[in-house]
Structure 1
Amino acid sequence: MSVLTLASAPEDATALQSAEAHHARLAGELAGRVTMLFTAVDRDPSAAERIHAGLVAFCDRSLLPHAAAEEAALYPAAHRMREARLLIESLIGEHRCLTALVDALRAAPGPADAVADARALQVLFEEHLAKENGLVLPLLAMTPEISLAELLADMHHRLANDSSAKGIQEDQHNEEGHDMYEGQIEETGGCGGVCGCGGTEESNEPELDVRDVPHAIRHATVFGALDAVPAGTAMVLVAHHDPLPLLAQIEQRNPGAFAVEYLERGPEAWRLRLSHR
């Protein structure tokens, strides 16, 4: 089903869709990392420590710089509009809450002490993005006097030149490559050569169940979870179908990095162990 995008110019419609896609990737990666932290705390405390550290690093590298760039490049234009002024001020307040939650994660003495703040961070960030996607971005895109495309270009320029956001350009380049390749994967149904059957018994690896994860962020959630799996360890993925397109994307994203074993092949669930070589 096609989605109607209202904008004052074609380039703003494209910019709006691009911004929403990037938001989905950020939300998905955060959700994956938080879920891995929750499951690892109970199953593998040593892995939980690494996942906790990786979550804080992700927030410092991607989430907080993104929020700062929005305030500098995107929010001022919306704040000048009377109908959006109070909303923008509330969103800036939410940025302060996000920063406080990341600081709490950083200061937590251990992973078990961080899980509540991690879940709160995920919930607040998803609600925050819903307001931006549903209200702020469409309003800017539909206003003829404002170029959303130029505002987002300025925002990306600030991110690229922010020393605290080092590496974001590379991440965005990789993400764009996934998006371009996704259509090819959907058509071929290939798995990139990473699949292997196995009857290995389940162990205490962290588990990621994506059956209830919204489709828009499902693959990004898996990528975020995999980024939290150190070499020499594994996670168990639970899906409602055989995830061949996803496996192909994983292989393209990190060639040869993950071995795949099927633990269960439906009909209610597919369970796969993804081992980081």
Structure 2
Amino acid sequence: MSVLTLASDPGDATALETAEAHHARLAGELAGRVTMLLTAVDRDSIAAERIHAGLVAFCDRSLLPHAAAEEAALYPAAHGMPEARLLVEGLIGEHRCLTALVDALRAAPDAAEAAADARALHVLFEEHLAKENGLVLPLLAMTPEVCLADLLADMHHDLANGSSTEGSPGDRDDEEGHAGDGGRAEAAGGCGGACGCGGAEEADEPELDVRDVPHALRHATVFGALDAVPAGTAMVLIAPHDPLPLLARIEQRAPGVFSVEYLERGPETWRLRLRHR
């Protein structure tokens, strides 16, 4: 079923697509950061601590302000509908759980202690967005008395004028989940995976396996992971194909920040080292 059949007018159909794409960016970046943390905990405790701090900062500047803006702008309209009242109250309760998990992440004495809360945060947030995307947003878009486009405009106005820095130059992504800054993908030679050069170094580098990540979230997930890679370190990306479009997106974000070395070139799996210069 197309989005247009779920909306009362073309403007709300576009607004619905925009909201879902923004959710995909948030979910992807969170997934990337959590995956990097869980991987680094077992490999490099110093890197894990930096990733842990970056995850908390992302939640404070993007995830939690987004949830608060939804409660202020979107939820009241849905709560006024008898068929959605209990659902919205449940979603507000989930916002409280998300906040509690972020507080637990912030208070964790080290990255190892934060790992379980990070995993729970990731799972809860994806389940929460599935309800918003599948139930709340379509209901608002289908209701002629409600203008979803106006509600989203109010929501983003609140974000832009509040304490949140979501959408700031360092973190702004377009509505397809492509970040506005970052690193340049530059082929760095290497053996192409034939000899496994750099194997000892690679063993201590966190890996991000996106082979099972939904396509709509894949780029945002990688960008979130790259944002968690400190300068002077690297991560290994595992992909189901040669990720040339992704590398082009990385290059567009901020030329010169990341170098790329192929460690394996198919036919089933591609492995690349992305080094933050």
Cα distance in structure 2, aligned partners of 1:255 and 1:152: 33
Q: Normalized against structure 1, the TM-score is what?
A: 0.92
Q: Corresponding residue for 1:267?
A: 267
The alpha carbon displacement at 1:195 in A equals 1.9
Q: Normalized against structure 2, the TM-score is what?
A: 0.92
**1:108 aligned partner, one-letter code:** A
**1:228 aligned partner, one-letter code:** A
Q: Corresponding residue for 1:251?
A: 251
> Structure 2 stretches of 5 or more lacking a match?
192-196
1:90-101 paired onto structure 2 within 5 Å: 90-101=90-101
* From 174, 182, 187, the counterpart of 1:195: 187
Provide Cα deviations, 1:97-139, integer angstroms capped at 9, x if missing partner: 0000000000000000011000000000000000000000000
Cα distance in structure 1, aligned partners of 2:166 and 2:142: 32
Q: Corresponding residue for 1:109?
A: 109
1:136-175 paired onto structure 2 within 5 Å: 136-163=136-163, 165-170=164-169, 173-175=172-174
The alpha carbon displacement at 1:77 in A equals 0.3
Q: Quick check: 165-174 or 31-40, which moved more?
A: 165-174
The verdict on how the C-alpha distance between 1:129 and 1:171 changes in structure 2, with shifts beyond 3 A counting, is: farther
Question: RMSD across aligned C-alpha pairs, in angstroms?
Answer: 1.8
Cα distance in structure 2, aligned partners of 1:72 and 1:98: 17
Contact preservation (8 Å) 2:177, 2:219: no
**Percent of aligned pairs with the same amino acid:** 77
SS at match of 1:238: strand
How many residue pairs were aligned? 265
The alpha carbon displacement at 1:169 in A equals 4.3
SS at match of 1:144: coil
Q: Which has the higher helix share?
A: 1
Q: Corresponding residue for 1:75?
A: 75
The alpha carbon displacement at 1:59 in A equals 0.2
**2:198 aligned partner, one-letter code:** E
> Structure 1 stretches of 5 or more lacking a match?
182-191
The alpha carbon displacement at 1:232 in A equals 0.4
